Structure 1
Amino acid sequence: MSLQGKIALVTGAGQGVGQGIAFALAAQGARVAVTGRTLSKLETTAEEIRSRGGEALPLVCEVKSPESIAACVDAVVDAWGGVNILVNNAQEVPLGRLHDLTDDALMAGWESGPMATFRLMKLCYPYLKGDGVIINLGSSAAKRWDMAGYGAYAAAKEGIRALTRAAACEWGPDNIRCNAILPHAMSPGMEWWINNNPEEAHEFLSQIPQRRVGDCEQDIGRFVALLCTDGANYVNGQSIALDGGQAFLG
């Protein structure tokens, strides 16, 4: 178990991609703090991790609140003594054409995405120094063939990618690695989108060379766990598409 002894904090871990990542990190031996807004979902994730023989700590956290974020990090440190792995997954998704988007929707996407990522990285920095890993969740939305309706979401995710690269460059001397993944995963949000946009979803799936959307744990979580191990010690500052080959990050 190559993450034995490591302590991970995963935001948005009550379902979907965050849950899949939490499962995979725990399977490799990490103790995982699973955070999100809904305690019942977090407890379900934690119970599943424990049933598999792992350790989990469910913590309610509103990533748009600086106070809630700080309290969450403090709770993990108080319980387990530090943080070795930070996964910034939680994100409110601002979808819609520019004329239809409200300021509030745009700000919710920004505060839950780049701002929360920025704040959590800085709060965890003292504990990550020496052997820390940060995984931030980006998106290939900015690489879409048609950006209509996805501009605000893509802007937030591109902001996260920029912060990822900056952290990799600035904190690399402290032996902190920071990478971004850009996943396609069959989360509840993705299922909703496919069911409510059948024609666009058909075109979307046809553009994936492997013709399928990834599994949250098997395809996304396991890769994140690998990226956190010593086997990926020289991978830093990268944006890695986990999308079956759809995006060209040239």
Structure 2
Amino acid sequence: MKLKDKVAFVTGGSSGIGRGICLAFAKEGASIVFVGLNEEKGKRTENELLAIGCDALFLQADVNNRELLPSLIDKTVERFGKIDILVNNAQSSKNVPLEETTDDVMDLALNTGLWSTFILMRSALPHLKATKGKVINFVSAAGMIGLSKQASYAATKEAIRGLSRVAATEWGRYGINVNLLSPIANSPGVERLQEEHPNAYNKMVSLVPLKRIGDCEHDIGRAAVFLASSDSEYITGQTLMVDGGTVMVR
């Protein structure tokens, strides 16, 4: 029970990687508030967490709404009295060539990714100071190697990485750890790729040294448990590649 008596706040927790993290946290004893856009999926995940004994609360919200975000932190503290772990997982984007990336396409990625991460970190900081908490933000190989048709997504993820490194430097004196996860997992998008474009999916798997796609709970969720627990207390400002060896950072 590595997260017993801890309170975690997770964005994008209704499905995919976010759901996997919520399940992994719950099985380690955490209480969880998670945010999602789809109410049906959110309630389904909330019921899953409650069924395994987790004190869980689903908040239906769009992280694209900057003005709403501080109130989500307030609701978490009202319910549980504190925040120990902040996980910024939510992200929306559209994959188009750079020359077709409109202002609206860029704004979608930045608002749901960079701006939501920044505002939630800023809003949660007083509570994270009180608990000497953990922040886990999400980045991607798209920004590290420059994947085609992912300009807005790649730019957002690299901006999040820069933001997180600054926070790690500045917030270390408060005992707050800020780290990043870069995953490859069987998210709903990857599952659709497997169904609709099996050749492209198989090619993606072939590029993974471990020759499989990560599981949202058992691979990504467990890595998040490590970064959220006392096991990682002397690690901050780092990018943990949970991608089967696809990108080896040197």
Q: TM-score when scaled to structure 2?
A: 0.95
Aligned counterparts, 1:43-62, within 5 A: 43-62=43-62
Structure 1 segments (4+ residues) deviating >6 Å: none
- Measure the CA separation in 1 of the matches of 2:155 and 2:200: 21
Q: Which residue of 1 aligns with 2:141?
A: 140
Amino acid at match of 2:139: G
**Equivalent residues of 2:101, 2:151 under 8 A apart:** no
Q: Structure 1, residues 88-144: CA drift from partner, whole Å, max 9, x if none?
A: 000002311012222111110011011110000000000001420000011111234
**Equivalent residues of 1:185, 1:215 under 8 A apart:** yes
SS in 2 for 1:245: coil
Q: Which residue of 2 aligns with 1:6?
A: 6
- Measure the CA separation in 1 of the matches of 2:183 and 2:147: 17
Q: Which residue of 2 aligns with 1:236?
A: 236
**Equivalent residues of 2:9, 2:83 under 8 A apart:** yes
**Equivalent residues of 1:34, 1:45 under 8 A apart:** no
Q: Which residue of 2 aligns with 1:174?
A: 174
Q: Once the 2 structures are TM-superposed, how far is the Cα of residue 247 of structure 1 from its aligned partner?
A: 0.4
Q: Once the 2 structures are TM-superposed, how far is the Cα of residue 153 of structure 1 from its aligned partner?
A: 1.1
**Equivalent residues of 2:136, 2:180 under 8 A apart:** yes
Q: Which residue of 2 aligns with 1:183?
A: 183
Q: How many residues align?
A: 249
Q: Once the 2 structures are TM-superposed, how far is the Cα of residue 196 of structure 1 from its aligned partner?
A: 4.1
**Equivalent residues of 1:113, 1:156 under 8 A apart:** yes
Change (3 A) 1:152 1:169: same
SS in 2 for 1:179: strand
Cα RMSD for the two superposed structures? 1.3
Aligned counterparts, 1:97-136, within 5 A: 97-129=97-129, 130-136=131-137
Amino acid at match of 1:140: A
SS in 2 for 1:99: helix
SS in 1 for 2:100: coil
**Equivalent residues of 2:193, 2:200 under 8 A apart:** no
Q: Once the 2 structures are TM-superposed, how far is the Cα of residue 190 of structure 1 from its aligned partner?
A: 1.6
Q: Structure 1, residues 6-50: CA drift from partner, whole Å, max 9, x if none?
A: 110000001000000011111111100011112221111111111
Amino acid at match of 1:8: A
**Equivalent residues of 2:144, 2:158 under 8 A apart:** no
Identity of matched residues, % = 37
SS in 2 for 1:182: strand
- Measure the CA separation in 2 of the matches of 1:161 and 1:66: 20
SS in 1 for 2:241: strand
More off after superposition, 185-194 vs 232-241: 185-194
- Measure the CA separation in 2 of the matches of 1:248 and 1:122: 31
Alignment partner of 1:160 is 2:160: yes
- Measure the CA separation in 1 of the matches of 2:10 and 2:213: 22
Q: List runs of 5+ in structure 1 lacking aligned partners.
A: none
Q: Once the 2 structures are TM-superposed, how far is the Cα of residue 198 of structure 1 from its aligned partner?
A: 3.9
Q: Once the 2 structures are TM-superposed, how far is the Cα of residue 200 of structure 1 from its aligned partner?
A: 3.5
Q: Once the 2 structures are TM-superposed, how far is the Cα of residue 197 of structure 1 from its aligned partner?
A: 4.2
